[in-house]
Amino acid sequence: MTDIPVITIDGPSGSGKGTISQRLASSLGWHYLDSGAIYRALAYAVDQAGFTVDDNKQQIEELARELKLSFQPSADGGAEVLLDNVNITSSIRTEECGAMASVLAADGDIRAALLQRQRDFRQLPGLVADGRDMGTVVFPDATHKIFLTASAQVRAERRYQQLKESGINDSIPRLFTVISERDARDASRSNSPLTPAADAIVLDTSEMSLEQVIGQVRQQVGYQGL
């Protein structure tokens, strides 16, 4: 373990953790880990290779260890995801890719193959890490742990908006169904399930604006300038 500070922000999809984490990281001048993008990039690579979890488990674990993944700041303050130097950002944002990522993510050996890659993001001056198991498994000694949640309906509406902004057309009822399925799988798996760490602060953001959530997070972590 190290002294490098980490703030973990976990939660289901559409809880607002991506936006909040990016904003927090950029205002603190800290590094940002979007761990979901790693699972999504693996799902993309597995799909490209034509592998399935049932038939190609070992090859997938190897792929997970050797994935040539890099992140670059994007114009909107987020990050572009590059696999073998090819920009795969928009391809991995679809709900289909999220669902595939969630199937792979249920496997303990695949998770283990991605663990060190995530811990390597812990660099000075600090890290904001967003995902499902940041506070429970990847950074159990984190300085501050936040767990964001919201009702499934609100999360489906937020995902709809997010996808729309990135040029992807979907429907709220369909997103409600696929997101609920994905969250149920993430929460019920035996390996690193989606659950708040015992020492996490849980915030239900259903009725809160982005600014209100940011205000609450700022209060909890005690850093100014967010």
Q: Give me 122's structure tokens.
A: 């812990």
The rounded Cα 5 to chain-centroid distance in angstroms is 19
> Site map for ligand C5P, 134-173, x if CB under 6 A?
----------------------------------------
Among the listed residues 133, 149, 152, 217, the single contact to ligand C5P using CB under 6 A: 133
Pick from 197, 217, 200: nearest CA to 209: 217
Which one of 34-42, 50-58, 76-84, 166-174 is the stretch in contact with ligand C5P (CB under 6 A)? 34-42
First to last CA, the chain: 26
Distance CA 127, CA 50 (A): 34
Q: By three-state DSSP, how is residue 99 classified?
A: helix
**Among the listed residues 31, 40, 122, 159, the single contact to ligand C5P using CB under 6 A:** 40
15 binds ligand C5P (CB under 6 A): no
Find out whether the peptide bond into 125 is cis, omega within 30 degrees of 0. Answer: yes
The binder of ligand C5P chosen from 6, 88, 186, 203 (CB under 6 A): 186
Specify the residue for token string 């390996």. 191
8-155-137 Cα angle (round to 5)? 25
71 binds ligand C5P, rule: CB under 6 A: no
Residue found under tokens 């679809």: 94
User: Near ligand C5P by CB under 6 A, which window of 68-76, 82-90, 119-127, 128-136?
Assistant: 128-136
- Cβ at position 98, least distance to ligand C5P in Å: 5
Residue with tokens 């490098």: 4
Give the range of 31-39, 45-53, 68-76, 149-157 binding ligand C5P by CB under 6 A. Answer: 31-39
Backbone phi, then psi, for 34, in 5-degree steps?
A: -100, 90
Question: Considering beta carbons, is residue 185 or 218 the nearer one to ligand C5P?
Answer: 185
Q: Which residues bind ligand C5P (CB under 6 A)?
A: 13, 35-36, 39-40, 98, 101-102, 105, 131-133, 182, 186
